[in-house]
Structure 1
Amino acid sequence: MVRVSRLGGVVGVLALTSLIAACSGATGGTPEPSPSSPSSTGPAVPKIEAPLPASLIQGDPCAALTSAQVDGLFTNTPTRDQAAKDTGAAKSCGWHDIDRGSLIGIQFVYAWKHGLADVYATQGRGFFKVLAPVQGYPVVAYGPTDDRSSGACGVAVGIADNAAFEADVQFANSAVGKGDPCDDARKVADLAITTLKASA
């Protein structure tokens, strides 16, 4: 498994649960090799009942969210990366509100050859929390550390047995401590699934 870089980002807390309200620049990170088989401890990798084409994560992550979806997540008009960046493990794209210190990001992780199983292989070696699925696709919040207290979270979403992507969120400075950024990252992932399904 490869640990992809965590994007820095946004999220203002609105009604219902926290909804994203603004976004900011990406933070660096180095992919780290990990075991390619799931851990024997902890929850088992869920089966994906209606897989999407794995080729979807070979596309442009900047197209994973529509303009209307992004505008609905931000209070201010965000700045989008001019082009996807290739980290050597994933293609990533971010939407930022620099003034508020916030961001959302999508990473198409081509290094996860076993899909979400590669993320499950990290259990016991950092932050790992199974979240409710989005549109039937399994979601896991994970990372080398639990960064929720600083308003950051990344979630991995399995779309096929050999394909998964990541959605990242960083709360706006004023929103840190007012909600769970993993909930917001899951919402971003849900929007991305809607867009990916439409293009499948």
Structure 2
Amino acid sequence: MPPLSRFRGVVAGLALMSMLAACSRTTGGTATPGPSSAPATSSSGLPVPTVANPLPASLIQGDPCKALTDAQVKGLFTNTPTRDQVADDTGVAHACGWHDVDRGSLVMIQFVYAWKRGLADVYATQGRGGFFKVLAPVQGYPVVAYSPRDDRSRGTCGVAVGIADNAAFEADVQFANSAVGKADPCDDARKIANLALTTLKGGA
């Protein structure tokens, strides 16, 4: 499978994986929504980080193609990339990608509307055989890398950023063919998430 096609197939499944994990939880009794004084815990018992200074969830209800400015995108690619004409609705998220077909590189931002509990839905994927790694926060907002499988050796990584306890977005990266194996793509995905967060906060 060509690198870009493979990468799009992977990122299309990332948010879906977390949604299915969240839906597979079963509990008894009747749920009663209400405030909680303690952070939620994942199925593995790892505390889900709370967002100390939440941003409006409406920030990720818009167009993900506007999450990165032209100047930010230019700094991410060696050549001028092609941007998706319109955001794609994957069924769990609105996604927009920028890609250099010749070099095999791609950056994608996903506004995941399926994550009703923010990062708690991502943390629910732990223990299901996939890749999960907590990363350093960006601008004080929690970040986690996750995927159905660990594709870092192939230059692919996706990270989720919690902007509120009920909202999160995702940044995905596929390295250029010549860069695969030379660095950790999760580091770059985190940097892209940081750029997107700067843009989003500018519109808050």
TM-score when normalising by structure 2:
0.83
Cα offset, 1:47, TM superposition = 1.4
Would you say how many aligned residue pairs link Structure 1 and Structure 2?
179
User: Residue 127 of structure 1 corresponds to which residue in structure 2?
Assistant: 131
Counting aligned pairs with the same residue, the percent is: 75
Question: How far apart are 1:42 and its partner, in Å?
Answer: 4.8
Deviation at 1:35, TM superposition (A): 2.1
Q: Residue 8 of structure 2 aligns to which amino acid in structure 1?
A: T
* Larger displacement relative to structure 2 (114-123 or 32-41): 32-41
If asked which structure has higher relative contact order (CA below 8 Å, sep 6+), I would say 1
Q: Does 1:27 align with 2:8?
A: yes
1:14 aligned partner = none
Residues 177, 42 of structure 1: alpha-carbon distance in 2 compared, 3 angstrom cutoff: farther
3-state SS of paired residue (2:47):
coil
Name the one with the larger helix percent: 2
Q: Could you tell me which residue of structure 2 aligns to residue 75 of structure 1?
A: 78
SS of equivalent residue, structure 1 residue 132: strand
**Contact 1:157–1:164 (8 Å) recurs in 2:** yes
Task: Report which of the two structures shows the higher radius of gyration computed on alpha carbons.
Answer: 2
2:144 aligns to what? 140
Distance 1:97 1:187 in 2: 18
* Alpha-carbon displacement from aligned partner over 1:132-186 (angstroms, at most 9, x marks no partner): 0000000000011000000000000000011000000000000000000000000
TM-score, normalised to structure 1, is: 0.85
Which position in structure 2 is the counterpart of 1:173?
Answer: 177
For 1:144 and 1:160, the matched residues in 2 are separated by 24
**CA-atom RMSD in angstroms:** 1.7
Q: List gaps (5 residues or longer) in structure 1.
A: 1-7, 10-23
1:195 aligns to what? 199
Q: C-alpha separation between the residues in 1 aligned to 2:100 and 2:153?
A: 20
